[in-house]
Amino acid sequence: MIDQNKIIGQEKNALLTHFNLDDVDKLVISLKKIGRENFNKVCILIKINKRIVFFHAGTQTTNENNLWIHKKANVVDKFDHSSLFEKAIYEENPNDFYINNGLSRRDYAIVGGGFPIGLQSTGVIGSLIVSGLTDTEDHDLAYQALLDLQSQQS
C-alpha cells in the first residue's frame, strides 16, 4: 500500500519560499546533483503556471518517456497533487480514477513522477515531472531535488 499521508507530508515539506524563472536553473542543478548517473536516464519537465519553462531529454530516453511526462503533468495540473498521491488514492481500483473524473488514459496516468511545485505563502504554482526510472524513483528524484533547492533558499 502506498501511504497517502506520507506523500502529502512530502508535498508540504517541499514547499519553497519562492520559485520563478530565475530559480529554474538552480532546480536543474539540484536534479543533476541528486540524480547523478540517472540524469541521462530521465526526461524532466518543469512548468510554472502550466507554462513549460524547461525540458530535458536524457541520452538514454525515448519518446515513450515524453508521453509519460505529458500524462503525469496533466495529473499534477488538474489536481495540484503529485501523480503518486493520485495513484495511492486509486490504488485498489485504478479504473475509478478515469471513470470518476471523466479522464482518458491517453492523456492522464496515475504513476509516480509528477510533483507539484508549491510556495509556502501561495500554494501550487507549477510542477516538476520526471520519467525514466521506476515511478517511485521518479517521484523521489523530484522530491529530493525540491528539498535541495529549498535548502538553498534558507
Helix axes 21-35, 135-153, angle to 10 degrees: 120
Residue 128 has pLDDT above 80, yes or no: yes
Residues with Cβ within 8 Å of 81's Cβ and at least 6 positions away in sequence, in order, are 7, 8, 11, 116
Separation of first and last alpha carbons in the chain:
34
Inter-CA distances, 140 with 34, 49, 92, 93, Å: 10, 22, 22, 24
Confidence of residue 1 (pLDDT cuts 50, 70, 90): confident
Residue 154 has pLDDT above 80, yes or no: no
Predicted confidence (pLDDT) per residue in 105-121, tens digit:
999 999 999 999 999 99
d(CA 59, CA 143): 22
Predicted confidence (pLDDT) per residue in 77-100, tens digit:
999 999 999 999 999 999 999 999
Residue 14 has pLDDT above 80, yes or no: yes
d(CA 128, CA 141): 10
Gyration radius (Cα) of the chain, Å:
14
CB atoms within 10 A of CB 126: 24
